[in-house]
Amino acid sequence: MGPMDPLYALARPWLFRMDAEDAHRTILRWAGRASKSRAILAATRAYYRPARDPILECNVFGLRFANPLGLAAGLDKDGEAIDLWAAMGFGFVELGTVTPGDGQPGNEPPRLVRLIEQEAIVNRMGFNNRGAEHLARQLARRRTAIPCGANLGKAKVTPLERAADDYERTLRAVWAVSDYLVINVSSPNTPGLRDLQAVEALAPLLTRARRVERELAALAGRPRRPILLKIAPDLADPDVDAAAELAIETQMDGIIATNTTLRHELVPVKPVIAGGLSGRPLGPRALALVQHLYRRVGKRLPIVGVGGIMSAEDAYARIRAGASLVQIYSGLVYHGPGLIRSILQGLALRLRRDGFTRISEAVGSDGGSH
């Protein structure tokens, strides 16, 4: 890892002495206020000096990205600090997961635990959020021009057979103000949600999302919005293939791999709560899944790589395996916002070292060599 962000080096021990969810809440409260102040946003940009390098620019599913590194879903579920994430240097931001109406409280605490030695996190938050309409208001208020996605989910109380209604409601609520949409059927903390990844359940859901989106776009006279499918790392290869083929058939624009894993054997300790594991131990599985997906559908379906990316080296490997874009969550918790610049500078350096002139040339460049 590179030298740690000095500001975060001061803050981290203090944050890590707090209960993980209290720390998260504290950070988000600050970040939300900071995001509303032009002076603080300017100071943030001056401190983190977002990487601006043409080699990092890319065009994926019809959107332009100044760089390929995004904030993963779940850190800022309600879109409280969108402009701050942009000021820190992210090339795009994913908000949510949101559920319909006024949202829901999520599971009972404890529901968030750090595994510091492993640079991992276990969470069973259960889609705590203030609802899709609230997120839409936050998105409408943002000043940043970087692409912002809305990650959509199903309320805990909605029966699985009616899941498509929830995705439709949330999609309608955020459509006009988001740059892309994500159908999240891969969080382990909503009972039954991951069953929606099976083709029989997924087909009607994706078909309906695409149809509703197309209607909204036609009505507004605007180009259609990309819709991505986010999948779990715990699917068997045939199920991954089936979901990816279905995504293509139903005209999805990309696939996000991956969400958190239930394979707790990836860490040598027994986490004190059940839930999804993220961070460094997830890296090898998430990388393997990108490699697999790229071989199967890489030419037809852009891949967003997420899971265990903790350094520029990790991000570069994920891109060379086939990811057009990458996202981080746990890496930010362990290394702070300085990681964003460190990843982007390291990426640019590696691209030039290997003779690439654009990031898109590196996507999938070591496919087949495994």
Ligand X SMILES: Cc1cc2nc3c(=O)[nH]c(=O)nc-3n(C[C@H](O)[C@H](O)[C@H](O)COP(=O)(O)O)c2cc1C
Residue number, 78 or 213, with CB nearest to ligand X = 78
Binding residues for ligand X, per CB under 6 A?
Answer: 72-74, 77, 97, 112, 121, 123, 125, 127, 151, 184, 187, 230, 259-260, 278-279, 282, 306-309, 328-331
Residue number, 95 or 359, with CB nearest to ligand X = 95
Is 342 among the residues known to form the active site? no
What tokens were used for 211? 């149809």
Which of 186, 187, 311, 330 is catalytic? The answer is: 187
Residue number, 123 or 170, with CB nearest to ligand X = 123
Q: Which residue is nearest to ligand X (CB)?
A: 74
Residue number, 48 or 127, with CB nearest to ligand X = 127
Residue number, 282 or 344, with CB nearest to ligand X = 282
Closest CB 274 distance from ligand X, rounded Å: 14
Closest CB 303 distance from ligand X, rounded Å: 13
Q: Which residues contact 186 (CB under 8 A, 6 or more apart)?
A: 193, 194, 197, 230, 231, 232, 258, 259
Q: Which residues contact 37 (CB under 8 A, 6 or more apart)?
A: none
Closest CB 363 distance from ligand X, rounded Å: 19
Closest CB 49 distance from ligand X, rounded Å: 23
Closest CB 189 distance from ligand X, rounded Å: 8
Which of 216, 193, 207 has its CA nearest to residue 247? 207
Burial class (CB in 10 A: 0-12, 13-18, 19+), 277: buried
Cβ atoms within 10 Å of 202's Cβ, excluding its own: 22
**One-character DSSP codes across 196-250:** GGSHHHHHHHHHHHHHHHHHHHHHHT-PPPPEEEEE-TTS-HHHHHHHHHHHHHT
User: Are 337 and 48 in contact, with CB atoms under 8 Å apart?
Assistant: yes
Query: How does 43-55 read in b/e, with b if 16+ C-beta sit within 10 Å?
Result: ebeeebebbebeb
What tokens were used for 125? 């938050």
Cβ atoms within 10 Å of 210's Cβ, excluding its own: 18
Active-site annotation, residues: 187
